[in-house]
């Protein structure tokens, strides 16, 4: 292969820029040329791209967001859209495509592979919810962002003796909630993987209250229940606990990547390029048991990871 394309797709995540830089510079170091496709799969369909050079990816390793912009392309979901994308890649002599994105973006890449263009996916999503890897770019930064925010919320919650409910992202997974909950010493963490009723949450808080624990942090993963529902329930049944709600929202998607995200971006990039150059294709790069690996799309379902049961039990044991 001589020329590769690179795009970012789906929700942006800190570390995507570091991965763009890593893929571009490592590919050029190996003698390839690199075309940056703008706005995810939409850019392939509409032929929106720019040649990337060592210089054009300078000064971005520490920046959040994505230089290439991103989108959740509706058109790419259709067969006609994918055919247009494939034809554009052919016309522009792009021999392989590196996609940086989450689960949906990886499924898109797999469909493009089926048309005959080799693709590699680098996991980039704050949710950490992709098969084929225990770690996705952006996750570590998002957890640290939540931690910093909750530490501030705790100051005011404890000054006012309130129950502070904090809703975090994560889509259908509880990784962000559990890891940030562990790190900030939350009393309760609600995750989609574990069903808990609002009455059980309230009972737990009442018990803490009885033991003179006058303020508490409840971290709610958006996929478990809405923070608003927890707030409404608490206000109705336990107004004396003075409950408050903070929805952290898009705050979690921005900011400079953590050291771990920026470093992993470089390692994932190297593996993606090396794998392509060794004849590999149609795979997701990942970290499994601390090793950087490439797993063919057809086998990723063998490597599905979920929240740590011990951490889930421990966060509640320590928070009580
Ligand atoms: O996948 C990343 C993520 O931030 C999820 O945590 C969240 O559910 C979703 O994207 C929000 O998507 P959108 O950017 O379309 O609002």
86-121 pLDDT tens trace = 999 999 999 999 999 999 999 999 999 999 999 999
Mean pLDDT of 2-12: 98
Residue 56 tokens, joined? 């054009």
User: How close is the Cα of 263 to the center of ligand 1, in Å?
Assistant: 23
Phi, psi of 133 (to 5 degrees): -155, 145
Looking from the CA of residue 222, the nearest atom of ligand 1 is 8
User: 295-306, pLDDT tens digit by residue?
Assistant: 999 999 999 999
Rounded Cα distance between 191 and 17, Å, is 29
The Cα angle at residue 71 between residues 103 and 28, in degrees rounded to 5: 80
- Among residues 12, 42, 48, 127, the one annotated as catalytic is 127
- How does residue 223 score in pLDDT terms, banded at 50, 70 and 90? very high
Residue 201 has pLDDT above 90, yes or no: yes
When pLDDT is cut at 50, 70 and 90, the band that residue 320 belongs to is: confident
Q: Which residues are annotated as a binding site for substrate?
A: 125-127, 162, 169-171, 222, 250-253
ipTM of this predicted structure: 0.98
Work out which ligand 1 atom sits closest to the CA atom of 171. 8
Quote the mean pLDDT of the chain: 97
Distance CA 188, CA 185 (A): 9
pLDDT band at 195 (very low <50, low <70, confident <90, very high): very high
Predicted confidence (pLDDT) per residue in 140-176, tens digit: 999 999 999 999 999 999 999 999 999 999 999 999 9
Could you list the residues known to form a binding site, using ranges.
Answer: 11, 21-25, 72-73, 102-105, 125-127, 154, 162, 169-171, 185-187, 213-215, 222, 250-253
Residue 137 to residue 102: CA distance in whole angstroms: 9
How far is the centre of ligand 1, averaged over its atoms, from the C-alpha of 207 (Å)?
35
Closest CA to 186 of 68, 24, 317: 317
Q: Ligand 1 mean position to 249 CA, how many Å?
A: 9
pLDDT in tens, 12-55: 999 999 999 999 999 999 999 999 999 999 999 999 999 999 99
Band (213; pLDDT cuts 50, 70, 90): confident
pLDDT band at 209 (very low <50, low <70, confident <90, very high): confident
Residue length, the chain?
Answer: 320
Comparing 212 with 304, the larger pLDDT belongs to 304
């Amino acid at each position: 292969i001589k020329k590769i394309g690179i795009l970012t797709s789906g929700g942006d995540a800190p570390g995507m820029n570091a991965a763009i830089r890593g893929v571009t510079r490592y590919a050029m170091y190996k003698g390839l040329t690199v075309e940056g496709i703008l706005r995810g799969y939409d850019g392939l369909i509409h032929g929106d791209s720019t040649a990337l050079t060592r210089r054009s990816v300078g000064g971005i390793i520490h920046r959040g967001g994505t230089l290439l912009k991103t989108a959740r392309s509706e058109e790419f979901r259709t067969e006609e859209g994918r055919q247009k994308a494939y034809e554009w890649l052919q016309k522009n002599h792009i021999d392989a495509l590196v996609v940086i994105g989450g689960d949906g973006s990886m499924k898109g890449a797999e469909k493009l592979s089926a048309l005959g263009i080799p693709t590699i996916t680098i996991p980039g999503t704050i949710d950490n919810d992709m098969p084929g890897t225990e770690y996705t770019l952006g996750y570590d930064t998002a957890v640290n962002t939540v931690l910093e925010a909750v530490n501030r919320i705790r100051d005011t919650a404890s000054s006012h003796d309130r129950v502070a409910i904090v809703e975090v992202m994560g889509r259908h997974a509880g990784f962000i909630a559990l890891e940030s909950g562990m790190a900030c010493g939350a009393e309760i963490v609600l995750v989609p993987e574990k069903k808990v009723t609002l009455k059980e949450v309230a009972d737990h808080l009442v018990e803490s209250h009885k033991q003179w624990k006058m303020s508490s942090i409840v971290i709610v993963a958006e996929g478990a229940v809405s923070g608003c529902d927890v707030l409404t329930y608490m206000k109705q049944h336990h107004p004396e606990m003075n409950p408050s709600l903070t929805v952290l929202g898009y705050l979690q998607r921005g900011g400079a990547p953590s050291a771990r995200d920026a470093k992993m971006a470089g390692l994932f990039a190297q593996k993606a390029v090396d794998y392509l150059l060794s004849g590999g294709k149609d795979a997701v790069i990942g970290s499994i048991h601390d090793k950087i690996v490439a797993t063919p799309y057809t086998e990723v379902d063998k490597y599905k990871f979920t929240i740590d049961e011990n951490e889930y039990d421990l966060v509640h044991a320590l928070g009580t």
